[in-house]
């Protein structure tokens, strides 16, 4: 296979994108985002292209996120350059959400963070037996971005809060139930479906012929319990409800919530709440962009990446250190207006 990080081609009327960094779990670089934007804009107006299919190289991951190591290395010295990466990435997310042709995402293996942004906004989202979908950003001092707050705010009951705040992992069934995917195709039929679509067949008919019912996941099993925690409650009320729930599942969730970055957890709760009142992806991306900008001046994002990716000690020292120390004013500051530097999407 080519040594290019993203392979772009077309065949039989299908635009084909392959994320091609398998050793890095197909993490998205700025150049990859720009190449995808260019191709998708061209295909959008090409009458010979009737669909787009995106996949990830290798067996382990569709895409495990954006290249956060590059953000860590450049964020303090090239603020505008890092923000341009996010501008372009968020433009790509919005383009996928609003695309005028079938956009088929073959979501195998790990689909995390930025990987969700280039798959879960598509029109035809296919998961399989080894699919693991998550928005783990609160664990690195960030918040679910790439339109993550848009998706999470539309999950049933309190599931969006649960997966957004904890960074919990969804199986194929969980992703479908929460609105992050549409169809389950068993692993032994997954590649056959891909090849049939690339051969130019009818996307809907082919998916219908290959799709099946997935094994039931945790989201359905715990939906009522999670909904009780978060139903129309403030953050403090939701935490109190989880603390009062003596079940093993609740106490495990509570432990995770207290381990994540406190400022990120409360900011994510706010962002999901606000996204519920936003009628499209664009304003959701706008609030995420404000948070991204603030995070580059803030300690926790660098500390989270250091602990998870750079030094890998898994022992971040958050500031503030606990949820009860995070004030509304601190959260407000993470979403402060950016004036003429706001994200502007067409």
Convert the pLDDT of each residue in 118-155 to its tens digit: 999 999 999 999 999 999 999 999 999 999 999 999 99
Give residue 232's pLDDT.
Answer: 79
Neighbouring-strand partners of residue 112: 134
Torsion of CA 141, 146, 152, 154, to 10 degrees: 160
Lowest mean pLDDT among 4-8, 221-225, 231-235: 231-235
Query: Is 66 among the catalytic positions?
Result: yes
Give residue 233's pLDDT.
Answer: 82
Confidence of residue 184 (pLDDT cuts 50, 70, 90): very high
Convert the pLDDT of each residue in 42-84 to its tens digit: 999 999 999 999 999 999 999 999 989 899 999 999 999 999 9
Give residue 231's pLDDT.
Answer: 83
C-alpha distances out from residue 340 to 37, 80, 287, 308, 344, Å: 23, 13, 14, 34, 9
pLDDT at 2 over 80: no
Query: Is 114 among the catalytic positions?
Result: yes
pLDDT at 28 over 90: yes
Strand-strand pairing, 14-19 and 6-11: antiparallel
Give residue 333's pLDDT.
Answer: 98
pLDDT at 156 over 80: yes
**Active-site residue identified among 114, 117, 160, 164:** 114
Output the DSSP codes for 233-256: --HHHHHHHHHH--SHHHHHHHHH
* Percent share of the chain, pLDDT over 70: 99
Stated pTM of the model: 0.97
pLDDT at 102 over 70: yes
Query: Is 115 among the catalytic positions?
Result: no
**Active-site residue identified among 66, 75, 122, 286:** 66
pLDDT at 261 over 80: yes
Q: Name every residue whose Cβ is closer than 8 Å to that of residue 332 and which is 6 or more positions away in sequence.
A: none
Q: Given the structure tokens 């081609």, which residue do they identify?
A: 9
Confidence of residue 327 (pLDDT cuts 50, 70, 90): very high
pLDDT (average), residues 207-235 = 94
Give residue 35's pLDDT.
Answer: 98
Give residue 3's pLDDT.
Answer: 85
Average pLDDT, the chain: 97
Q: How many domains does the chain have?
A: 1
Give residue 1's pLDDT.
Answer: 61
Give residue 67's pLDDT.
Answer: 87
**Active-site residue identified among 67, 137, 218, 298:** 137
CATH number at residue 77: 3.90.226.10
pLDDT (average), residues 226-245 = 94
**Active-site residue identified among 145, 174, 293, 303:** 145
Distance, in Å, from the CA atom of 251 to the CA atom of 36, rounded to the nearest integer, reads 42
Question: Which residue segment(s) compose the domain that 252 sits in?
Answer: 1-345
Distance, in Å, from the CA atom of 154 to the CA atom of 165, rounded to the nearest integer, reads 15
Convert the pLDDT of each residue in 78-90 to its tens digit: 999 999 999 999 9
pLDDT at 291 over 80: yes
């Amino acid at each position: 296979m080519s040594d290019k990080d993203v392979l772009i081609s077309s065949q039989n009327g299908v635009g084909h994108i392959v994320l091609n960094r398998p050793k890095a779990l197909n993490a998205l670089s700025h150049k990859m985002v720009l190449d995808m934007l260019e191709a998708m804009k061209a295909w959008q107006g090409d009458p010979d292209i009737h669909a787009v299919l995106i996949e990830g190289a290798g067996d382990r991951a569709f895409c495990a996120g954006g290249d956060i190591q590059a953000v860590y290395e450049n964020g303090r010295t090239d603020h505008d350059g890092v923000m341009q990466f996010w501008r372009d990435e968020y433009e790509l997310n919005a383009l996928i959400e609003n695309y005028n042709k079938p956009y088929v995402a073959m979501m195998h293996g790990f689909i995390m963070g930025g990987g969700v942004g280039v798959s879960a906004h598509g029109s035809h989202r296919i998961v399989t037996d080894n699919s693991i979908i998550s928005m783990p950003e609160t664990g690195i001092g960030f918040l679910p971005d790439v339109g993550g707050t848009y998706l999470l705010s539309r999950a049933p009951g309190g599931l969006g809060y649960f997966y957004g705040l904890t960074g919990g992992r969804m199986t194929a069934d969980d992703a479908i139930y929460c609105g992050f995917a549409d169809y389950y195709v068993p692993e032994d039929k997954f590649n056959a479906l891909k090849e049939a679509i690339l051969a130019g067949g009818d996307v809907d008919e082919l998916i219908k012929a290959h799709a099946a019912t997935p094994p039931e996941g945790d989201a359905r099993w715990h939906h009522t319990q999670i909904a009780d925690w978060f139903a129309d409650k403030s953050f403090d009320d939701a935490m109190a409800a989880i603390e009062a729930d003596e079940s093993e599942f609740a106490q495990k969730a509570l432990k995770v919530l207290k381990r994540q970055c406190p400022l990120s957890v409360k900011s994510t709760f706010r962002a999901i709440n606000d996204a519920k009142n936003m009628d499209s992806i664009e304003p959701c991306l706008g609030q995420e962009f404000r948070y991204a900008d603030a995070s580059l001046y803030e300690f926790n994002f660098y500390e989270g990446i250091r602990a998870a990716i750079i030094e890998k000690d898994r022992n971040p020292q958050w500031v503030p250190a606990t949820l009860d120390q995070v004030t509304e004013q601190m959260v407000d500051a993470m979403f402060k207006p950016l004036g003429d530097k706001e994200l502007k999407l067409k």
